[in-house]
Structure 1
Amino acid sequence: MGSLCLVLVILQLSWSLSSTVAPPSSHLCLPHQRDALLHFKTTISVDCFRDSYPKIDIESWNKSIDCCSWEGVECDNVTGHVIGIDLSHSCLVGSLFANNSLSQLHNLQWLDLSSNNLEGFLLENTSSLFHFHGLRRLNLADNAFDGAISTELFIQLVSLTHLNLSSNGFYGLIPHNINLLSSLVSLDLSSYGLDLRFDSQGFDMLARNLTKLRNLVLDTVDMSDVALTPFLNLSSSLEHLSLSGCKLHGEFPTQVFQLPNLKVLYLSENESLTGFLPNTSWSSGLELLDPSNCGFRGSIPASFGNLTQIISVDLSGNSLEGQIPDVFGNLRKLTFLSFSSCSLSGPLPITIFNLTKITRLDLSSNHLEGPLPNHVSELQLLEELGLSNNSISGVVPSWLFTLPSLPRLDLSYNKLVGPIDRIQKPSSIQEVHLRYNNIGGPIPDSFFDLVNLTWLDLSSNNLSAYNVNFSGCSVRQFPSFFRTSNLESLDLSNNRISGGISKWEAEGWEGLQWLDLSHNFLTALEQFPGNNLGKLNLHSNLLQGPILSTCLNPQIPILKELEEFIISENKLTGNVPSSICNVSSLALLDLSENSLSGTIPDCLENLSYL
């Protein structure tokens, strides 16, 4: 029994001791690695531009704190080795020279120095980066590195799964041995100005050997020497393919649109790239499609309606033809759609107006025809609508002005007719462009309930408006449609119109008889508007100087009809000219609250002078 008790005591003691032993600590900074990081800190500086702040404050690194607790540093919890460094967006300035102390971090698995101002010939054969044989992720994007990309990068760092060298100054031919990075999942070599280039053999080797690629971004890499057949060998795992502005030419393989896992395809700005959209078998998971400003031909197939995951489509600037298929009923995730400048014809597809999440819709500069729908209850999130330069006919439906998120409406250069429907529920729309249509009839009074309107262009129509009230609408300049609207009465009071009334502003107002410009910010009156003005109100502006001696000259033909002239509460100076007595039609003149001098002509005693 004594022996058993002794065993129990020993076991209890061992359990007690084991329970007091701490688990492996995350603070196990190795001194030589700490020193290597501190030495690296001394080789660069921190300089934030303007009002930016570093994401990681490298200045906080100091010897008194365990380096595994430093911002931007990650250690292995068991061994204490530094395995990750993230100093992106940290305002770092300097260069990574060949014998950089980071090379002592032999267990480094990921390194992110993106979005700084690091520079120099980083990828030369003696670069310390090539010591990181176990490195899996390397991100040097958006810096100022330059020079050719060394072949050693691809020979030594064969464990890389993610490589991002984008937005630097690298140039020259991308080495063929990039195909050695067979573990790559993501590759971004996009540049600023076609300084990097692929030849056909190099890209073919990449397509054949990088079978795990899911993300391939080569925007503005010069691929003018690349044949398009290697695209048939791209990995079936590919999810994101971006080749904008690469000088691709020839017929793009339709099979790329059918890669089983493809979600994003950017081909924009390859003017010599031709091809057709697939009639069937699109990648069912496609979310973003942008082959804008290329040379794609043919029609938009009905199978386009099968892209139920699609979010954004930009086919603008291609040589498409035929009608837009009415197949948008199932595209419930679509937020952006542009078919502008595609030579498309036929009627507007009705289901396109039922898209509940669409924010930008651009069908401008085509040959679309027929009327707009009479009633639309969707499009509540629409922020941009482009339908200009088509052959759309019928009336302008009032629902266009009631969309809650739309700041700008452009239906110019169409075949729309009037009258414009009464607006039942005004919205926050700011700009309306309806020039060059066949709109006739009066402008409805409800049009001027659009209290946020700052720009209205109804020029080159057949409007028969006579009386327009634009008071208190935050107007900043004289709307151009007034020149062709046959106006007789115009109220632009309580707005934000500045500057002066010049000959240009007064053009086209020949029929105007009553004009109210009070409570604005006008500073000059160079010319009376129109030829038959009977009443002019310029009360409470910023008019200044001795302008009365010129604008009240009876030799000006317009003054033969002037009956009421209100120009009070301005900053006028000088004398009231006696020539005012020769304006026989004048019955009311208000010059009060100015800084006029001299005597008032006797003839004003016969007027209703205020």
Structure 2
Amino acid sequence: MEFYQFLYFLFCLSGQLLLNLSFSTTQLCRPIQSDALLQFNDSLTVETDTDSDCDPKMTTWKNSLDCCSWDDVTCDNVTGNIIGLDLLYSCLQGTLRSNSSLFALRHLQSLNLAFNNFCTSPILPELSVSNFSSLVSIEISYLSKLILLYLSFNDNFHFAPVSFPKSNWSKSLQSLTLSSTRILGKIPDSIGELKNLKTLELDYCQLIGSVPSSLVNLTKLTRELDLSKNKISGQIPRRFWNIEKGTLESLDISSNLIEGVMIFLVTLLRESYNNFPGKILFLATDNGFSGEIPSSVCKLSSLVGLYLDHNNLFGSIPQCLGNLTNLSYLDLSANKFEGTLPQSLDSCALLHTLNVSHNKINDTFPK
């Protein structure tokens, strides 16, 4: 009898151990990474008084021991490592310091800090950043497994070209979005080392100078290149068009100081996008392009959007534009075009935005 009681005791004990083991495997969060998140949380403040629409996601983090269950924290299902952190529009305020515990999360693949307010003392004051701005620390490159990085609309974030992350992201990073941050000068040559980039957004970054030749190394840039709303100057070098190999879906160079003759630009577009099976959105608004639009533009059958407004273009609008049957957006306003609208536009069944205002067009849209 005692022998059976002993067996029953062992059975219960083993069952409890199995339950504990099963329970422990569901706790994916690694304590050291949980502590790093909480330290990062404690280093910042949540400010909702100035913006009641933001979402203070981090305020709930201490309610559970398992950080993998916290709002906008993503963990690897097998290892329990934190691989994603989405703090978009989270009411955060403070400074991203060089010793931030955030940089200890070395398994991060996606980091989104967009639409916050990182603005107090500078991280690297020796680089003469004003005392209400924050220079993005080079330590962010320690996150060497990043695939997606979003720092957009942090107006007080600064990237100094001399310290822009280089080799640590050369193999992993596929999407870099720095819209409305400040890169303090020219487009960093080191961006050309991020050879697996598919998306690069550098709009509203206060960039100056010309497009660096190093961008030709971004041969996998297939989704979007946005250099708009800067002060990039000069002409577009021919080698620049090699970067997309006819696969870039959206190219935005609008609102810069770029110059060039339109026939040259269209020639480069044709060379890059001949037989391209996808759809193209091309924006060159508000630059210094001049000349006439050549009829060869009508062979860019993949165009869905063409924005050439606010340039120095003149002559007549090509009559063959109706060949662009995928065209949905056409803006040629604020140029010096003359004559009539092409009757062939009536064939553009998808066209729902047409703007030719502030020209010398004496006509109405074809019926």
User: What range is the shorter-chain TM-score in?
Assistant: 0.5 to 0.7
**Counterpart check, 1:395 vs 2:307:** no
Question: Which protein has greater RCO, CA pairs closer than 8 Å, 6+ apart?
Answer: 2
Please give the alpha-carbon distance, in whole angstroms, between the structure 2 residues aligned to 1:342 and 1:108.
52
* SS of structure 2 residue aligned to 1:420: coil
**Counterpart check, 1:342 vs 2:218:** no
Please give the alpha-carbon distance, in whole angstroms, between the structure 2 residues aligned to 1:456 and 1:311.
30
User: Relative to 1, partners in 2 of residues 1:427 and 1:373: Cα closer, same or farther, differing over 3 Å?
Assistant: farther
1:136 to 20, 25, 29: 25
After superposition, the CA RMSD in angstroms is 4.2
Deviation (angstroms), 1:239: 5.0
Gaps of 5+ in 2: 1-10, 42-53, 74-80, 120-132
Deviation (angstroms), 1:427: 2.9
Q: Report the AA paired with residue 320 of structure 1.
A: I
1:286 to 134, 139, 146: 146
**Structure 1 residues 255-287: Cα deviation after superposition (integer angstroms, max 9, x where no partner):** 558655554332222124453234588224332
Runs of 4+, deviation exceeding 6 Å: 182-188
Contact 1:314 1:337 in 2 (8 A): yes
Please give the alpha-carbon distance, in whole angstroms, between the structure 2 residues aligned to 1:328 and 1:216.
35
User: Relative to 1, partners in 2 of residues 1:186 and 1:272: Cα closer, same or farther, differing over 3 Å?
Assistant: closer
Higher helix share: 2
Identity across matched positions, percent: 25
For 1:472, the equivalent position in structure 2 comes to 347
Please give the alpha-carbon distance, in whole angstroms, between the structure 2 residues aligned to 1:135 and 1:280.
33
Deviation (angstroms), 1:353: 4.9
For 1:364, the equivalent position in structure 2 comes to 228
For 1:452, the equivalent position in structure 2 comes to 326
User: Relative to 1, partners in 2 of residues 1:456 and 1:383: Cα closer, same or farther, differing over 3 Å?
Assistant: same
342-351 or 242-251, larger mean C-alpha shift: 242-251
Contact 1:218 1:244 in 2 (8 A): no
* SS of structure 2 residue aligned to 1:320: coil
Contact 1:194 1:246 in 2 (8 A): yes
For 1:265, the equivalent position in structure 2 comes to 111
1:443 to 311, 317, 322: 317
Structure with greater Cα Rg: 1
**Structure 1 residues 142-176: Cα deviation after superposition (integer angstroms, max 9, x where no partner):** xxxxxxxxxxxxxxxxxx2249xxxxxxxxxxxxx
Q: How many equivalent pairs are there? A: 301
For 1:494, the equivalent position in structure 2 comes to none
**Counterpart check, 1:411 vs 2:277:** no
Deviation (angstroms), 1:184: 6.3
Q: Report the AA paired with residue 157 of structure 2.
A: F
Which TM-score applies when normalising by structure 1?
Answer: 0.42
Deviation (angstroms), 1:240: 4.2
Please give the alpha-carbon distance, in whole angstroms, between the structure 2 residues aligned to 1:324 and 1:474.
40
Please give the alpha-carbon distance, in whole angstroms, between the structure 1 residues aligned to 2:213 and 2:203.
17
Match runs of 1:578-589 below 5 Å: none
Please give the alpha-carbon distance, in whole angstroms, between the structure 2 residues aligned to 1:184 and 1:340.
34
Please give the alpha-carbon distance, in whole angstroms, between the structure 2 residues aligned to 1:216 and 1:345.
44
Deviation (angstroms), 1:432: 1.1
Please give the alpha-carbon distance, in whole angstroms, between the structure 1 residues aligned to 2:302 and 2:233.
28
* SS of structure 2 residue aligned to 1:361: strand
Match runs of 1:196-595 below 5 Å: 197=59, 219=72, 239-255=83-99, 259=104, 261-273=107-119, 275-278=134-137, 282-283=141-142, 284-294=144-154, 295-301=156-162, 303-306=164-167, 307-309=169-171, 310-358=173-221, 359-374=223-238, 376-379=241-244, 380-396=246-262, 397-398=265-266, 399-400=268-269, 403=273, 404=276, 405-421=278-294, 422-423=296-297, 425-444=299-318, 447-465=321-339, 468-470=342-344, 471-474=346-349, 476=351, 479-481=354-356, 483-487=357-361, 509=362, 512=363, 517=366
Which TM-score applies when normalising by structure 2?
Answer: 0.66
User: Relative to 1, partners in 2 of residues 1:425 and 1:267: Cα closer, same or farther, differing over 3 Å?
Assistant: same
Contact 1:219 1:246 in 2 (8 A): no
